[in-house]
Structure 1
Amino acid sequence: MDYNVFLLRLGLDPSQFINRLNEPIKTEDGWLYEVEQKSEGYHCPFCRHDVLYIHDYNTVKINCRETQLINDVLKIRKVRLRCKKCRKTFTPPLRGIERKNTVSNQTLQLIYSEFTEGLTFAAIAKKYGITTARVMQIFDDKVKFVPRRPLPEVLCIDEIRFSKNKDQQFVCILYDFHGKEIVDVIRNRQMPYLREYFSEINPIERNKVKFIISDMYDGYATIARYYFKNAVHIVDTFHVIRLLTTALNQIRVRTMNLKAIKGSPEYNFMKKNWRFFLTRPHLIPDKYYTYQKTGEMFHYDKLLRMCLALNDDLLTGYNILQDLFRYDMRFTFDEALRFIERISLNLRDAHSELLHAVGRSYHKWRVEIASAFSYTQNKIRYSNAIAESINNQIKTITKAAYGYNNFERFRKRVMLIITYKKRPGI
């Protein structure tokens, strides 16, 4: 490639250089271009005198890599001049190359574009032939600040594990239900951080939020009550059902160990097919279980009923779970509220303390759960499914990078990849 074409492609002015060789040198994975900086046409930056002479030369290599396969390098013999009047030395700047920079502006632009993709810093470094630390430095220098998005009409709140440090174990993430993007990432889900964050948002903007969707964390209820007084707080149905399935699974284990004979059909079925106790009846396969000791065959549905008969609390919890699976039959808020109050009462009437705890939680959150089970005026039933989907993307980003120690870098990266990838120009 011609020198002038190569320099122009890098955004450099060819008039600043003198070609040292007639042709570039072919290397193992690219080309080496050697040029020399011109020594005429400069003024002393200290006294503005124009009588200068060459003091010495300094050679630098500029990384011009565009892909992982082709590694082009620009070798510049930079001149250092001395002023005849003030006797001070200086190196004239090169237009298109920042001082002390070893990466061309064109390569920098390509690296900038990678920050909104899913590549890790290490993968970007390998692709462009620089160190991972250099990529992180470029990222921090380029992306000084990533603004949050405006609060949406339907705001989802969830948390994700960030660090093993107890003071910053979970970060709080805000999502736009309709936009399917991240609104912002808050450093911690603890109340002091949440209060400080939401108190700084203009009340006019907060009042535009009509629905808040979260799990049953008390901090989110407090935030919804004090900072979003015009919004309806909804508890995600997934967390409502998971609270009961967790308790029911613990009761199954206790029943298996205390009331089932080890090695019996009931014991083996409860141990190997625990998922059938936590799912809908129509998902139980239509097949038979063969007891190896006697050769006796039991249908899966019959064997499930035999196991449930071993413990009244297990049967009660299972029947209530099936009622919850049919929550979509409730359309109005009043119907849903009566339904969850009945469920809560039945759980508190059971003998198991595990079911008591679930019943108390359902009673405490009955209004928010009823809002989740009922349809809104727009005939929409809201959930945190969008948040869970985006959480999977965040976990993929974090896992690929083997975790993040710097919260600000983590926040900026996930915001760029998930939210601002479709909004270039930040």
Structure 2
Amino acid sequence: MIRIAAALLFSLLSLSLHAVTMEAEGRALIFDKDIDSARQAAIKNATQQASLQASAIVSSTQSIDQGVLSIDNMQVSTLGMVSNIEIIDEKIQGRMLWVKVRADIDFEEGCAAGVSGHGYQKSVAVTAFPLLYPQQASLGALSNMPTELSSLLSNQINQTSNLRALNAGMLNVLEAPATAPTRQLSAGALTTVLDYTRQLDVQYIVSGVIRDISLYDSSVIDPQRNILVDLYNRLDYRSKRHLRTLVLDLYIHDGFSGALLFSKQYATAGRWNLEPEARPGFASAEFWRQDYGKQTRELLNQVAADLNDELRCMPFSARITKSEDNLLWFNAGALAGIKVGDKLTVYRKSNFYTDDMRSHIQLINTRKTMTVTEVQPMFAIGRLAEDGAIYNIQPDDVVISW
């Protein structure tokens, strides 16, 4: 018996983007004389083989039943993107269609342990960024910053990444900005876990706190200033005295468990040369013309890039919404990149309590694979080999692709 625990077949040629050309063979059974479907399945099998030959990680969960090794829950995660597929040979042998393909495998830096999420579009909700010191927003009338920043960040994520960002700027998930992301439980313990996540119905929740938007030198807006001081300030507009700070904290929480996955603080500064009485508002045309606005835009671009980098290697997951016999409905479909024939692993969601009666969410691997049979824009249906009731699979359980 050959035991397959985790076969590592990777050779990282470079951490930078590059491509190699591979040839591979694939096979598929012909059902009801449907040669086109068999050809598509054979090509898919061949491209997987090509990618595996170049660089891949194959992992599987095995079980032995009465001395027979069986593999039910297999996952294949390649470290490259397949393109320019060319069929160079094809033949039919009985009920089997055989193809040979040539394909380009484009590589970039791989994720740890081969996690790739299979290129599916992960969903994130970007919530409000409350101001730690709201009075600082009076200069320039930036009180709309907590909600508008969420909108800007959502748009930037959608334009520059494979994430689907939802603007939840009207929702503040951080109860106490001064101590975020930490909050105190009724029993006195501290935790970084969000209190509620279900209503957002996304994989990841992005939140944050705007820690500081003050001027370096508050004397430039001193209400007791005179005409000469105003004149000097206008002539000295390039001075560091006009710099305004922007410091914000960013948090990423898991949408199923509420666990804190990532946190980082960002800081920048730019010149603020508007009159103290000016009220442009955050994200207005006048705001963006300021050096402070330009520095703010660059910082948000960096935040969006970091979010993409951090979540790119996270697994893809979706919530099961319905279970009927061996069919499962889940809340991700064609818009997320789900296709008929895709395979996802089913996890059962449960709660457990620690000795101090604190509730935690646990995802338990059922070791069962669901094969997608029908895809709609916003949801899909998959089939299990056995009745889901055997494993007590219920709505709110999860399917995951590593």
Give the TM-score, by structure 1 length: 0.20
Which structure shows the higher helix fraction? Answer: 1
Which structure shows the higher strand fraction? Answer: 2
